[in-house]
Amino acid sequence: MGPAGIAALELIPERVLASPGANERIGVGYIGLGARGHHILTHLTKDAQIVAVCDVDAHKVEEVAKGRNYGRYGDYRKLLDSKSVDAVVITTPDHWHALQAIHACQAGKDVFCDKPLSLTVREGRAMVEAASRHHRICQAGPQQRSIPAAIDACNLVRSGKLGRILEVHCTNNDTSHDCDLPGEPIPDGLDWDTWLGPSAVHPFNRLLLPSRYKEFGWMAYQPWSGGNMTSWGTHGLDIMQWGLGMDRTGPVEVEPLGAGLTCPLVYRYANGVVVKLDQAPQGGAIFVTEKGKVTVACGIARYDPPELGKDAAPNLDNFLGHKGPLHTQQWLKCVRTRECPSCEFEIGHRGATVAHLGNIARWLGRKLRWDPAEERFAGDEEANALLGRPMRPPWRLS
């Protein structure tokens, strides 16, 4: 879609009503029908219903929509044109998140975008600005923000009741790298050019389609993802920023302790707190305070000594059955009430940014100083050049 296509989207008038009427169901469209999209399909509340599905793989669209009265699309822009769609769930690969979310906001749709929010820092900021400009209810994917045990644990840490935070530990996840997979025939029904979208042209390979297959999958490669650093890592880094009370800002320094794309990292914050990416439960963070340790991972909170958490909400069992849906359903409630969701785009952007900074430090192999207010590296134009990426014409952010 070129400049004319973007302009056409921007001319779509804002909906007269800010939210569906009291007796109307929220019509939800799903963009991306891979493993994550299939999972979130089950999260709807009774006052919401699936009205449209979209994927570049025609077989996935037919599989999900078979026997159901869903609008069926291979092009997300046509789904956004549908008047029956009030809100969209975006679970496509990372390189598509920004454009699809921004265009949804321009089309007057509320948005749930799976983590990580963005492929780059600049894309994330553009998403935040679009949500604000078009007055959309936009939820980023880190679902621990809606889980009572995680909420209580992070609020306790940031309250100061446990004394000074001595240090924080998060999982040391790997950074993405260049892709040299050879070309293979494109399967019937797959629109590979649209899958690539704003990324550079690259031949199809079957190992790219799963998000993660050992070291393969699109998530492993720099054109489409930041690796596990931005995937699983975003969960733990978001918890870390939340507990520090830094979830609308960020660190002032990041340093790789060694070489390569898996070396440990250290972040430093303006208040003196040091965050180490070394050993921690996947998807979580360990807060070491003057009065003990608090560990939050995958919605489970652990306290050492246990009495630190005597007044906290109990842990829920069954992550897929209970914890995941809470976040989607909390967003749907906000779609109706127009209240701010638990992980609005600004928060999701800041958490993803921490992961992006770590990746850039590893790619360049040096310590970097970061200005979280300006969202730029201090005196390092080579690093600043990596805050965004060129998009393949005719795709563009604005």
- What would the two tokens of residue 92 be? 């496509």
Angle between the 345-364 and 232-244 helix axes, to the nearest 10 degrees? 110
Residue 62 lies inside a defined structural domain of this protein: yes
Residue 181 lies inside a defined structural domain of this protein: no
Long-range CB pairs of 40-48 (<8 Å, 24+ gap) are 40/89, 40/91, 40/112, 40/114, 40/324, 40/328, 42/325, 43/324, 43/325, 43/328, 43/329, 44/328, 44/329, 44/332, 45/329, 45/332, 45/333, 47/332, 47/336, 48/87, 48/332
Residue 390 lies inside a defined structural domain of this protein: no
Residue 21 is predicted with a pLDDT of 62
Residue 17 is predicted with a pLDDT of 39
- Do 98 and 19 fall within a single domain? yes
Residue 244 is predicted with a pLDDT of 98
- Do 256 and 297 fall within a single domain? yes
Block residue for tokens 């100083």: 369
* Number of Cβ within a 10 Å radius of residue 221: 23
d(CA 81, CA 97): 18
Block residue for tokens 């293979």: 184
Alpha helices in the chain (DSSP H): 3-10, 35-40, 58-65, 76-81, 94-106, 121-133, 148-159, 192-196, 232-244, 324-337, 345-364, 381-384
Cis peptide before 394 (omega within 30 of 0): yes
d(CA 275, CA 285): 9
% the chain with pLDDT above 70: 92
Provide the pLDDT confidence category of residue 214 given band limits of 50, 70 and 90: low
pTM: 0.93
- Do 243 and 368 fall within a single domain? yes
Cis peptide before 305 (omega within 30 of 0): yes
- Do 84 and 15 fall within a single domain? yes
- What would the two tokens of residue 119 be? 């492929």
- Do 171 and 102 fall within a single domain? no
- Do 31 and 139 fall within a single domain? yes
Q: Residue 91: give its domain's CATH number.
A: 3.40.50.720
Q: Which domain range does residue 247 map to?
A: 148-175+229-316+344-378
- Do 99 and 68 fall within a single domain? yes
Residue 388 lies inside a defined structural domain of this protein: no
- Do 7 and 35 fall within a single domain? yes
Residue 32 lies inside a defined structural domain of this protein: yes
Q: Which residues contact 1 (CB under 8 A, 6 or more apart)?
A: 77, 394, 395
CB 248 within 8 A of CB 125: no
Per-residue model confidence as pLDDT tens digits over 74-129: 999 999 999 999 999 999 999 999 999 999 999 999 999 999 999 999 999 999 99
Provide the pLDDT confidence category of residue 310 given band limits of 50, 70 and 90: very high
Residue that wins the pLDDT comparison between 68 and 20: 68
Q: Residue 247: give its domain's CATH number.
A: 3.30.360.10
* Number of Cβ within a 10 Å radius of residue 267: 25
Residue 280 lies inside a defined structural domain of this protein: yes
- Do 374 and 235 fall within a single domain? yes
- Do 246 and 365 fall within a single domain? yes
- Do 65 and 158 fall within a single domain? no
Per-residue model confidence as pLDDT tens digits over 140-177: 999 999 999 999 999 999 999 999 999 999 999 999 99
Residue 195 lies inside a defined structural domain of this protein: no
Q: How many distinct structural domains can be found in the chain?
A: 2
- Do 161 and 139 fall within a single domain? no
- Looking at 89, 124, 144, which one is the last position of a domain? 144
- What would the two tokens of residue 169 be? 């530990």
Residue 216 is predicted with a pLDDT of 81
Residue 370 lies inside a defined structural domain of this protein: yes
Provide the pLDDT confidence category of residue 19 given band limits of 50, 70 and 90: low
